[in-house]
Structure 1
Amino acid sequence: MWNTLHVGDNLDVLPRLEPGSVDVVYTDPPYNTGNDFAYADRFRDGSHPDPYAGRHAAWTAMMRPRLEAVREALAPHGAVFVSIDDNEVAHLRLLMDEVFGEANFLAQVVVNLNPKGRQLGRGFATSHEYVLAYARHLPGCVVDGSTTESVDEADFPLTSPDGRRFRYLPLRNTNKKFNPLTTPTLHFPLYGDPVTGRVSVSEFEGSLALTPVFGDGRPAVWRWSRPRVDERPDDLECRVIRGRAGERADIFQRDWLHREGGRRKKLRTIWLAEEIGSTDTAVAELKALVGHVFESPKPTGLVRRILSTLPDDVVVLDPFAGSGTTGHAVALANAADGGARRCISINSAEPTREGSNARLAGLATVADITRARLEAVAERVGGGLAVHPSAEPPVVGTTG
């Protein structure tokens, strides 16, 4: 079963999940717009004299126990990703430092969800929100902050006789922190022939002895050890280059473009709408399944990018499931690559607004929206759906 929905306050449901049973959390909690929170706030004292500071304090009080419960559900190798806007990003960052530990911070991603910018109100046309990412325990975290989708074939302009694309990278380590004093084992001669391109750890007829140097002539180190050079000589080439002191021979790595998903590239911390989708994209995705019944859903592309940094069999948790974007994204990812991801979605039975599109469509609660979407996803994409109503205790430690 790819998707499971628990209906109820997440503060009641989360403690019933088996500790450490979740690999990754993505969630889009209610933003602090100045309105009352639908989620029960058992920690607010209402005594703050500054209404703005009081709003921040109330929002933080609502979020803290939920993030603490999320932390307990996360496996030691897991991570949490939380969407937020400018209203609370500063307070959420401090809160997550407190709950997850500042040392476990992964990234603060800027997400360009509204490319045109918001034209209402004063000031600038805001076109971004954020995703804050923290590991449960950074040294063991399975998140790989890279993906195959960000690799640009244009970065590999050369083609080998057998049709493979590649580029040249200096075998010399260009970082001056690495030099014969700091890394003496990587400073040694290699032998190369700039006519044939051949490279070897041993001298051969026609070869030149080459040691790594920086552009200014100071000694450098190689990026590869002798054994690695010996194992992969065909990935190296001796070439003549023009340096500051004129022409000289140097050794380069043929860096191959692997079309079958082998190459990955680090993700930048600005995610553009053309890469992951926008709020308009998200509304269209939801409309195609159940109608225009939720005001600000997130695009499935945002969640799928997060999933692309993780193994394809993770258990995903969304404690503020909203319109069901996370469960939808998990189903799409599984259908695309044959993965075995599972998603636990939690949403409260908060009433939809009287006269809203959702209410007119017969969806009395926000959880009804989540359920309607995930049912449509199960029908169109596959993977099924198990629903645990609020009156029924959730199945602990499983997604059905």
Structure 2
Amino acid sequence: MRDQSAIAGVGRTPFYKNSGVSTLELGLRAITAALDDAGLELGDVDGLITHSVGDAVPASAVAHSLGVDDPHVLLDLVGGGSMSAAAVGAAAMAVTSGQAEVVVVWRALNARSEFRMGGTGRSAPTLVEFQYQVPYGLLAPPQQFALVARSYMARSGATSEDLGRIAVNQRSHAMLNPLAMMTTPLTMDKYLNSPLVSDPLRLFDCCLETDTAVAVVVTSAARAHDLRRSPVLISAASTGGGHSLYSGSRTDFSTSAAREMAPRLYARAGISPEDIDIAELYDAFTPLVLMQLEDYQLAPRDEAAAFVAAGETTFGGSLPVNTHGGHLSEGYAHGLNHVAEAVLQLRGEAGPRQVEHARTALCTGQPGYVSGVTSALILRGVR
């Protein structure tokens, strides 16, 4: 599968606090923008793939709305941000195997105005483990990930200031991004004085809740070379396991399942961690960035905080991370906006935040906590 398929176009809506439209409408806007970016027509589409957590319309409804009457591939993946990279990987497999020629992958959600994660007024999740959460009030993602954060901090020695550097760095990146929701400067003092949401997580440790949609178009590498934009090759995709906070055999919550998945991801791409130029790491919460730096072997175990403190993950460092501001400051599209940012970087179209040496990018999904699954991509530019 290596380098046999490519992302030929990206499209997105703005990030909203209240979009005022349905997730169907958001998805259609992002998809048509992505097709226009690639120089393709609606009639070229024969595959549709999305990922969600029961908060968006199914792929079949989007196919009908687009006029795709005979889709060759139609997938609805469950798992939210854990499946963002897996969805793109599924599109690559469909194209490489000949099941489809042009596959659109999208994520559309009204995650602030309509379907808030952990919010009230929703039906209970179908997870068996939910019954073990309720008696302890462990309902919202910040509460769940606070346990993960504390476990990692106890093992690695990371401090609140180390978490704060992630938030501060990514805000500085977002200030160069015209699409970002949060563009005012964030200082360490402001971070440390922000309210605790669930100890040790403060306000700025938590991702934004947003209404938005992002789409990418996947086709064969050969076809992509003849289209409007410089293609971004899909060098590898991988899906792995994960943690449940309530049952299962995993007992060390300070390390994510990405640590087990990473070696096969790199092997499939034929590269090593040292070959990654930029990393768009899933950042629902700041400690996930530190954990993934270690689990994807981008920094030594227990040394991610020192790696960040040395300036290695910001512009001018050896490995710029979340160059768009990430979920913490750009907006929350369950991982697919990370893929869109990597594509812009690898095409050389990221404007003032462009990383000049960016040729190979790592894009990760949520590293497997609560959901029990994770996924990641390695993308390569050819400009």
Give the TM-score normalised by structure 1: 0.25
Give the TM-score normalised by structure 2: 0.26
| Larger Rg belongs to | 1
* Higher share in strand: 1
* Higher share in helix: 2
